[in-house]
A and B are shown apart, each in its own frame.
Chain A
Amino acid sequence: MQEFEYVAPTSLEDAVKLMAEKGPKAKALAGGTDILIQLRGGRYQIDRLVDVKNIPELNQFSCSQSDGLTIGASVQNYKIYESSEVQRLYPAMVDCASLVGGIQVQGRATVGGNLCNAAPSGDTIPTLIAESAQALIAGPNGQRTVPVEEFCTGPGRNQLADGELLVSVNLPPVKPNYGAAFLRFIPRNEMDIAVANCGASVQLDESRQKIVSAKIAIGSVGPTVIYCIEASNSLAGADANEASIEAAAAAAQKAASPINDMRGTVEQRIHLVGVLTKRVLRIAISRAKGE
């Protein structure tokens, strides 16, 4: 691996300063399950690696009915899926965090790293979009917040300017009659990169028969994870039934722009978007109904 300076600041202020000093020649290190392999492969030439795991703000992890879910950018996936509160309130986060890599990877990998790495296949990103998460960013000019669907700008590219760090992702509190879910298709049972994946959320009305609003996001079928606005909007005011689900899945298929590669063909991926969107919506609706 190339040579670089390793620093492990213990305050956010210091971390931002250390990042900013080196501009594009500095990279953050969270779990390292993407960045260390990329450095070894010579994808970037950097001068400084800033370990962000000792920064208190990035280790925040709290989940409650009233305040929602805050996942600091250094919080490992296992903490998410082992939390009984997350299991109860945000099962879609458990769906995705528990299938990133194997147990070893889950001991290190973070949602923050998954988002910043901005892979089209990033498995936690569709859920974050579906759950209306906001990304809290800190940089030399202070802090700002970006909706997760705007965070990734291309394969491996994100919104962060030089010197900026992701602090946390924040999911709003869940309301009654709300549900979300995530599914991924891979050719084996575990440990592979998504051929396609899908996260969705639905807010039902009090009768639980009608959908008030929905959010659908699909991955591995475009340059970034795609927030399917038309498919999502098609569900607003619709009956929570199979006809609405079918229509939304067809709209999600239209939003996909996949490529052929060794993992799957364009046709297969578009087919998968349809299947996954339907299945995910069914699970989200049944969770919203408290079933």
Chain B
Amino acid sequence: MADKIHVQSNINGYDVDFLCESRQSLLEVLRDVLNLTGSKEGCNDGNCGACTVTMDGRIVESCCILGVEAEGKEIITIEGVASADSLHPVQQAFLEEAALQCGICTPGFIVSAKNLLEREPDADEERIRFWLAGNLCRCTGYDKIVRAVLKAGEVMRKG
């Protein structure tokens, strides 16, 4: 087996050290090394967004990044979205609006939508649909997802 590389990064607010092979994607590291299985593998080629996490504040697809590229980076996964005692408004809105069926796409949608609303709490439907174009859903038909994000935006604007 190939030599493992020591990587230091900050994941969901915690400084984390891990060992990985150079060929392992960040998604594989999250799921198989760090046991953070919330990020999903849909396509493994950058098209579906199920593996979306934020890296230094921007949404990225963890299947298109190597684990070693996480060195020195701040990463937030779906596990870092809720606070200790409550769901994030985007999560709450997804539940209330029934914006999921099988749920495979949901972690990616929530990470993407939260990042949008943090930048642009006033994002309208068109902006939301554009921002979420890199997240695919086979089940919902997207309408309920968009409605949930609009609702979360309202809640976040009220603060």
Does B22 lie within 8 Å of A33, measured CB to CB? Answer: no
Does A105 lie within 8 Å of B22, measured CB to CB? Answer: no
Does A40 lie within 8 Å of B44, measured CB to CB? Answer: yes
Tell me the nearest residue of chain B to A7, going by C-beta: B22
**What class of interface size applies to chain B in its complex with A?**
20 to 34
Interface 9-mer from B32-40, B54-62, B80-88, B90-98: B54-62
Q: How far is the CA of A102 from the CA of B66 in the complex (A)?
A: 19
Number of A-B contacts (CB under 8 A): 79
Partner of B21, one of A3, A32, A37, A78: A3
Residue A44 is within 8 A (CB to CB) of chain B in the complex: no
Partner of A6, one of B22, B44, B55, B134: B22
Residue B49 is within 8 A (CB to CB) of chain A in the complex: yes
- Determine the chain A residues whose CB is within 8 A of the CB of B44 once the complex forms: 40
Interface string of B1-22 (1 = CB under 8 A from A): 0100100000000000000011
Chain B positions near chain A (C-beta within 8 angstroms): 2, 5, 21-25, 44-47, 49, 52, 55, 58-61, 64-66, 68-69, 71, 112, 130-131, 133-135
Residue A101 is within 8 A (CB to CB) of chain B in the complex: yes
Does B69 lie within 8 Å of A51, measured CB to CB? Answer: yes
- Determine the chain A residues whose CB is within 8 A of the CB of B58 once the complex forms: 78, 107
Tell me the nearest residue of chain B to A189, going by C-beta: B133
Q: B interface, by DSSP: helix, strand, loop or mixed?
A: mixed
Q: How far is the CA of A95 from the CA of B5 in the complex (A)?
A: 39
Interface string of A1-34 (1 = CB under 8 A from B): 1111110100000000000000000000101110
Residues of A in contact, count (CB < 8 Å):
29
Does A104 lie within 8 Å of B134, measured CB to CB? Answer: yes
- Determine the chain B residues whose CB is within 8 A of the CB of A78 once the complex forms: 58
Tell me the nearest residue of chain B to A78, going by C-beta: B58
Does A6 lie within 8 Å of B66, measured CB to CB? Answer: yes
Partner of A3, one of B2, B49, B71: B2
Tell me which residues from 32 to 73 in chain A have a Cβ below 8 Å from any Cβ of chain B: 32-33, 36-37, 39-40, 49, 51, 53
Q: How far is the CA of A224 from the CA of B127 in the complex (A)?
A: 33
Tell me the nearest residue of chain A to B116, going by C-beta: A103
Residue A210 is within 8 A (CB to CB) of chain B in the complex: no
Does A32 lie within 8 Å of B66, measured CB to CB? Answer: yes
